[in-house]
Amino acid sequence: MSFPRYPECKDSGVEWLGQVPVHWYIKTLKYVATYNDEVLPESTSKDYPIKYVEISDVDEQLGITKWTEYPFASAPSRARRILKDGDVLISTVRTYLRAIAPVTEPPDGLVGSTGFAVIRPVPGIYYSGLLGYVIRAEWFISNIISRSVGVSYPAINASDLVALSLPVPPWKEQKTIAHFLDHETAKIDTLIHEQKRLIELLKEKRQAVISHAVTKGLDPDVPMKDSGVEWLGEVPAHWACMSFRYATRILRGKFGHRPRNDPALYDGAYPFIQTGDVARAEKYISEFKQTLNEKGAAVSASFPSGTLVMAIAANIGDTAILGFEAYAPDSVVGFQPRQDITLEFLKYSLDSSIQELEKTSTQSTQANLNIDRVGGVKGVFPPEDEQTKIVSFLDKMCEQFSILEKQATKSIALMVERRSALISAAVTGKIDVRDWQPPADESAFDEKVRQAGMEAEA
């Protein structure tokens, strides 16, 4: 879809804005909006119910996704900024700059963290619906980043934030631009949602294929027996059923020093992996990002090359095979199978038991396992020649799933880029949408979404 350009433009006088329509103004944010207008006073009744929005509760595309209810007396001390309809929330902490959201029809008692700046447009001067898009434009975020200060927790003061310049179209035009972006980004977001749904379905199907292959085998006519394990059900009669503690030697990761991020322990000659490295790997871990020095290695534990490793905290159940000797913390365990069990089959067997592993995990601030819980889960193991055939089959199937997931992920990235470019072009006057009207017939788009949904279900 192409859009016309404004017939006349002028230099905005702001380097990062460039040319803007000749009839637009350039003003600082504090000229068109106030900020942090209202906070809950400490004299608020202890029983007053508040709905608290943290930075992690805000998504760039979805807006405010959730909140946590507290009586005022029990709420975090940072739960103070009162939110009203038309406000725009923006994180002032560089790490969370994508935590930006317009506030629409909020429930009574909605408050935001003091890690937000609450921007309140002046009625009749700047339209709230448009301001939410302006603040999410890449050029605006880039300027926040450049003005953030601090080393360990860089942030921007709200007073510096509202000193940033932005284009100000006439009021009627502001509303048209906002409604145009509401319509167009909603369509893009629908397609993004469908691709995310497709990825989730592919992951579910991948898990189902793995589970069936490593618990039922590839021969539909093989005689079966009751495994005696509820989640395994019937298994091939000639397969052995045993706990993972008997099928493999389980190695403990270790990191005895606190704090773990002490720089005195790092940047040496010893590769060091963590749960994130396991999660990022598809089947093999072939590279590392961190290293330990002699001091760090002395408080950690090493796994030999060829060890199957599993994350037992955070992203529990993720597995990968080490392509090199590496050290690991206690949030990672290693497996070395007995001689009649292949490493690759053991990986798929552990992958198939993820739901059982999750059931045995403890819940605190995050889910976690330990060696006893992992070792107590049971799997079934065929003769070695069958293991080899199953691994070959699953490798091919998983490669097909991986290709489809990568295609969907690439599509999402392209749509996010398109969304960002469209917002930036509209709010800076690079495209003229003054004559835009919502299409009377959206059937072509609806059909596209329907087809995406059918592909996801297939």
Beta strands in 262-354 (DSSP E): 266-272, 284-285, 290-292, 301-303, 308-311, 319-322, 326-328, 332-337
Q: Residue type for 386, please?
A: E
Q: Give yes or no for residue 124 having a pLDDT over 60.
A: yes
Please tell me the predicted confidence (pLDDT) of residue 361.
59
> Residue 411 in contact with residue 195, Cβ under 8 Å?
yes
Please tell me the predicted confidence (pLDDT) of residue 445.
53
* Domains with residue ranges and CATH for the chain: 25-168 (3.90.220.20), 218-381 (3.90.220.20)
Distance CA 310, CA 278 (A): 7
> Residue 321 in contact with residue 244, Cβ under 8 Å?
no
**Hey, is 326 helix, strand or coil?**
strand
**Hey, is 211 helix, strand or coil?**
helix
Helix (H) or strand (E) holding 385: helix 384-427
Under the banding of pLDDT at 50, 70 and 90, the label for residue 369 is low
Are β-strands 284-285 and 319-322 bridged in parallel, bridged antiparallel, or unpaired? Answer: parallel
Under the banding of pLDDT at 50, 70 and 90, the label for residue 101 is confident
**Hey, is 68 helix, strand or coil?**
strand
Q: Give yes or no for residue 358 having a pLDDT over 80.
A: no
Please tell me the predicted confidence (pLDDT) of residue 453.
47
> Residue 167 in contact with residue 9, Cβ under 8 Å?
no
Instruction: List pLDDT tens digits, range 53-86.
Output: 988 888 877 788 889 999 999 989 888 899 999 9
Query: DSSP secondary-structure letter at 4?
Result: P
Under the banding of pLDDT at 50, 70 and 90, the label for residue 25 is very high
Whole-angstrom CA distances from 125 to 103, 121, 161, 359 are 18, 7, 19, 55
Environment class of 45 (CB within 10 Å of its CB; exposed 0-12, middle 13-18, buried 19+): exposed
Please tell me the predicted confidence (pLDDT) of residue 270.
97
Q: Give yes or no for residue 161 having a pLDDT over 70.
A: yes
Instruction: List pLDDT tens digits, range 428-440.
Output: 999 999 999 888 7
The better pLDDT of the pair 8, 151 is held by 8
Instruction: List pLDDT tens digits, range 374-402.
Output: 888 899 999 999 999 999 999 999 999 99
Helix axes 384-427, 171-216, angle to 10 degrees: 180
User: What percent of the chain is modeled with pLDDT above 90?
Assistant: 66
Closest by alpha carbon to 103, among 125, 82, 79, 124? 82
Whole-angstrom CA distances from 192 to 135, 196, 198, 202 are 21, 6, 10, 15
The mean pLDDT of 183-207, rounded to a whole number, is: 95
Q: Give yes or no for residue 20 having a pLDDT over 90.
A: yes
Under the banding of pLDDT at 50, 70 and 90, the label for residue 456 is very low
The mean pLDDT of 213-217, rounded to a whole number, is: 96
Find out whether the peptide bond into 259 is cis, omega within 30 degrees of 0. Answer: yes
Please tell me the predicted confidence (pLDDT) of residue 146.
83
Under the banding of pLDDT at 50, 70 and 90, the label for residue 365 is very low
Please tell me the predicted confidence (pLDDT) of residue 448.
53
Please tell me the predicted confidence (pLDDT) of residue 194.
95
| Mean predicted lDDT score pLDDT of the chain | 89
Token pair listed for 26: 């350039």
